[in-house]
Structure 1
Amino acid sequence: MSHSTILPKNEAMFNFFKSHRLPLYFSKPVLRHIQEFIVAATAKGYRGKIVDIAEWSSVHRTSIGHFLSHGVWDESYIQKIVKQESLQFVVAHSQKTEQPIFVIHDDTVCNKTKPSSQAQRPIEQADFHFSHLEGKSVWGHQVQATLVQCGDHSLIHDVHQYDKTKLSKIDDACELAKTMAIPPKSGYALVDSWYTCAKLINTYAARGYQLIGALKTNRILYPQGIRVRLDTFASYVNPKEVHLVTVNGSSYWVYRYEGALNDIENAVVLFCWPKDAFQVSKALHAFLCTDVSLETQTILAYYSKRWPIEIFFRQAKGNLGFNGYQVRSIRSIERFWALLSFTHLYCTMGLGKPLLFGEGLRKVRKEVKGQYIRWIYECSRNGVPLEDVLKRLKAA
């Protein structure tokens, strides 16, 4: 069966494939499918569905489904490329600029419609998971993602399903932490309150990283050896003991504690209230930093660099179909996530220079549109009948 698309071979994309030796590992039909996936995933209106990919291919959507579910190709090599490329770039950039490396962990839920008890082919390994965005349990897959960042560049490093029957979130993050490159200057893991614990702190410390993370307000502190809950201690903070700190245009009253927590011998804890809500209990936020040498404003500025992972989730769901896939086998789903990560990497690192994802996405769309017009023009010059062109474009 032909594996040609409505577009000619994308030279920039093929060079990106060649630079990572994909032609040595994958057959030409597989490479064609990967190209079709990237082109479809970066097109306007892409929803993550196989029919969207089929719009850019001459093969039937069932062939694309077979490629994801039963195709003979190793998605782990794609995942390996994403991990290696992202780490190599941030390490090199850190060496050049002497800026710290940031490793950002978080998770999200890819919502799915809960199948009825009569469903013959339910989506594999879907379950109920609590969604912080919706504030309730939703049906779908819980996905853990890791970004690496240095300077203005944030790159996807890993995306995979979180399986609570095998590892806890902390153990899962620890396994990934063990694979991190030792930072040439300094390195920080940035996490939310679910990940801030001694086990992850110690695992990252062994790789040369400090940890900055949010804290739940029921954590136990030991000021002067006295055991007390964080929120209780915060209620006794005197206005004379706080100072105003401005980060990214927002101002906060901040109290700095340095000392012991449960299972943590010594760390900085920052108690933060918005400028107009000092001592409002529901407005209290707390952050831990294991690097006690950092100034208060630097700790908060570094923690704000965790925001790109939230942007990644929003962009992946809004542009790359992260929430819209309809393949049902877990193998197909994991391959879909691998190709999604590779697409994100191509938009940020595969276009001649490092770009923000949004910039890269717009550039890819322009390139594909230009090739599309060029192909029609060449057909016209070569006397290809209009009926053949329309048939190839699936417009007949």
Structure 2
Amino acid sequence: MNHPNTFSLSLQKQSDSGRIIDDHELNRAFTELKFRSLARQSNITKKRGYETLSLIFVFVLLPFLKRSLSSFCNGGYLQNYVQAHKDTFYRFLNNERFNWRKLVQLLASKIIAMSKEVPLKEKVLIADDSICPKSGKEIELVSYHFDHKVRRSILGNQYLQLGFHDGLHFFPIDGAFHTSSHRPNTDMRDIDKRTNGWKRRKEALSKKTDVLVQMLDRAWKSGIDASFVLFDSWFAHDDIVRRIVDVGYGVICRLKRNRVKYGYRGGAYTLKQLWQQIAKKQTVWIKDRTIKGVCLNVTLKKTGSVRVLFVSDGRKQWQALLCTDTDLEPSRILDYYARRWSIEVYFKDAKQMLYMGKEQSNTFDALIASQSLVMIRYLLLVYIQIKHGLNACVGPLFRQTSDNQSLWMFSRAVWDHVKELIFKSSDILSYRIEPDLLFHFIDIIEDLIAEQSRWVTAKL
């Protein structure tokens, strides 16, 4: 078997040792994870028409075939999966009654339970947000957000993501949209106020910090154990830290240099004052690190006792991290916070490979469905990694799976043309080959193709 050159070295070695996935592992995952049952529990069902699972599978498959929904429906690919029209798929995406959040959480919890058990200290939750630019001002709940990368406000959707990390793999477990007050239009789809779609619209108009706490509360109630929640300085507020601790998780985050006062040995200091007057003089080289640091146990008005780690390059640059565990060593705090990078990798993979932000619809319900499908695709790839003991990133795995699916589609199309040519030439061939023998030959090939593609048909 030839392997793509884009494989990482670790994945290439595992592939060479015979532990890599075969062509239809992605398809088998649907059956092994009992996806139909998960969808039914999430109210993602249809009373009539094409089966729900078949439609979801087509949506999951699109990035692996490098196709948009419109090109997929118009290019003749659809007939190999389900005999549905394009409108069927768009109506499915726009269904406001589907509970996509529950489907993602059920799937994530199931895959996490199948992974190798690790100590509680290795488990963390990671929160971050990202902006997906949009060009249509008529998109429901689209708004302007300040993008720190380009240092200006851009039109788009801001996506808040919560993920679980067990030391090896990142699992997206929840997501929400945030709409700012700067909106080019105020139009909203008129739907039943009792539906999941309306609840998600209300959530999008809520404060982002409140939504984060709600997401963590859902994770706690669903049984997701973690020692800390990791996030950047944007969420680093005394009230937010206190509310997260009340939920049941510890916090490690980067701190802002603002006017917040920290209590230390009877005095009240800003972060900058703590550094200049106390911490700077006490820094020492951190073990196995090329930076200096020192921990100070301080108090916050609402959270109470916390530990602040000051780190410096030994010159003028310095940063501060907060940890709610007042006994944690500086090196361990840095180790934990470094794992926050995994959510940045997730955003990169989701945008470049899994079609995050590339949905083509003006309705908010389709946006929710599309982002949920991004998480589902990622979770399926992580499941395949866990199943085969792979520890590399999902990028090489995605590329191989994509190549395998594209190859199957191509071979199917070639056979359809060959079969059509055989039927058109049957009168000529029948002089030398008995018709029954000819049809028996065709049946053998069809059975082989059906055997290879049995997991990707509409009869899932």
Q: Does 2:36 match 1:15?
A: no
CA distance in 1, matches of 2:224, 2:57: 35
Which of the pair has more CA radius of gyration? 2
Equivalent-residue separation in structure 1 for 2:331 and 2:31 (angstroms): 43
Q: Give yes or no for contact 2:63–2:354 (8 Å, CA) kept in 1.
A: yes
Aligned equivalent of 1:259, options 298, 317, 323: 298
- Structure 1 segments of 4+ aligned residues over 6 angstroms from their partners: 182-185
- 1:358 aligned partner: 395
> What is residue 371 of structure 1 aligned with on the other side?
408
Matches of 1:342 and 1:18, distance apart in 2: 14
Q: Aligned pair in 2 of structure 1 residues 359, 208: CA closer, same or farther (>3 Å)?
A: farther
Deviation for aligned residue 1:240: 4.9
**CA pair 333-257 structure 1, distance change in 2 beyond 3 A:** same
Name which of 162, 167, 172 aligns with 1:146.
162
Whether 1:57 and 2:78 are equivalent positions in the alignment is yes
Contact 1:190 1:212 survives alignment (8 Å): yes
Rounded Cα–Cα distance in structure 2 between residues aligned with 1:91 and 1:292: 30
TM alignment of 1:146-295, pairs within 5 A: 146-163=162-179, 166-181=205-220, 187-218=227-258, 219-237=260-278, 240-245=281-286, 251-275=290-314, 278=315, 280=316, 283-295=317-329
Aligned-partner Cα distance in 1 for 2:408–2:133:
35
Q: Which amino acid aligns with 2:357?
A: N
**Aligned-pair CA distance for 1:387:** 11
User: Which AA in structure 1 matches 2:268?
Assistant: R
Deviation at 1:287, TM superposition (A): 0.6
Which residue of the other structure, out of 339, 363, 388, is the alignment partner of 1:305?
A: 339
Specify the SS of the correspondent of 1:15: helix
Aligned match of 2:124: 102
1:341-390 residue CA offsets vs partner (Å, 9 max, x unmatched) = 21111121157446542243134214313432553465477x333899xx
Classify 1:186/1:318 alpha carbon distance in 2 versus 1 (closer, same or farther; 3 Å). Answer: closer
Residues 106/206 of structure 1: CA separation in 2 closer, same or farther (3 Å cut): same
* Pairwise CA distance, 1:158: 1.2
Residue pair 1:87, 1:148 contacting (<8 A) in 2 also: no
Residues of 1 paired with 2:116 and 2:173: CA distance? 16
Q: SS of the counterpart of 1:322?
A: coil
Assess, with a 3 A threshold, how the Cα gap between structure 1 residues 9 and 180 changes in structure 2: closer, same or farther: closer
Residues of 2 paired with 1:37 and 1:113: CA distance?
Answer: 23
- Alpha-carbon distance in structure 1 between the residues aligned to 2:90 and 2:388: 33
Query: 1:10 and 1:262, CA in 2 relative to 1: closer, same or farther beyond 3 A?
Result: closer
CA distance in 2, matches of 1:43, 1:387: 29
Distance in 2, matches of 1:154 and 1:259, equals 32
2:98 equivalent in structure 1: 75
- Percent identical pairs in the alignment equals 20
1:64-108 Cα deviation digits (max 9, x unpaired): 3333225xx8531x4323213324544675744554311111111
The letter of the residue matching 2:94 is: S
Alignment RMSD (CA, Å) = 3.3
| Letter of the structure 1 residue corresponding to residue 302 of structure 2 | D
Letter of the 1:229 counterpart:
T
Q: Is the 8 A contact 1:82 1:341 kept in 2?
A: yes
Kindly state the Cα deviation for residue 258 of structure 1 after the two structures are TM-superposed: 0.8
> Do the aligned residues in 2 keep the contact of 1:75 with 1:338 (CA within 8 Å)?
no
Q: Structure 1 67/20 Cα, relative in aligned 2: closer, same or farther at 3 Å?
A: closer
Structure 1 gap segments, 5+ residues each: 1-7, 116-121, 389-396
> In the alignment, what sits opposite 1:129?
145
Q: Is the 8 A contact 1:220 1:229 kept in 2?
A: yes
Maintained 8 Å contact 2:242/2:302? no
* Aligned-pair CA distance for 1:226: 1.5
- State the partner residue of 1:337: 371
Q: More displaced, 159-168 or 35-44?
A: 159-168
Q: What's the CA shift for 1:174?
A: 1.0
For 2:91 and 2:309, the matched residues in 1 are separated by 52
Deviation sequence 1:315-341 (CA, Å, 0-9, x none): 111112223223111111111112222
Tell me, in whole angstroms, the C-alpha distance in 1 between the residues paired with 2:72 and 2:368: 17
Mapped partners of 1:266, 1:32: distance in 2? 53
For residue 65 of structure 1, what is the amino acid of its counterpart?
Y
Inter-partner Cα distance in structure 1 for 2:423 and 2:51: 26
The letter for the 1-side match of 2:159 is V
User: Any conservation in 1 of the 2:139–2:362 contact (CA below 8 Å)?
Assistant: yes
- Within the candidate set 358, 362, 372, 1:324 is matched to 358
Q: Which amino acid in structure 1 is aligned with residue 305 of structure 2?
A: N
SS of the residue 2:92 aligns to: helix
Whole-Å separation in 1 of the counterparts to 2:139 and 2:400: 34
Distance in 2 of aligned mates of 1:195 and 1:10: 36
Q: How high is the TM-score relative to the length of structure 1?
A: 0.79
TM-score normalised according to structure 2 size: 0.69
Kept in 1, the 8 Å contact 2:111–2:383? The answer is no
Give the conservation status (yes or no) of the 8 Å contact 1:95–1:185: no
Checking the alignment, whether the CA contact within 8 Å between 2:252 and 2:324 is kept in structure 1 is yes
Alignment check: 8 A CA contact 1:242 1:253 kept: yes
Change (3 A) 1:348 1:185: closer
1:347 maps to a residue whose letter is L
Aligned length: 362
The alpha-carbon distance between structure 1 residues 387 and 338, as it changes in their structure 2 partners (threshold 3 A), is farther
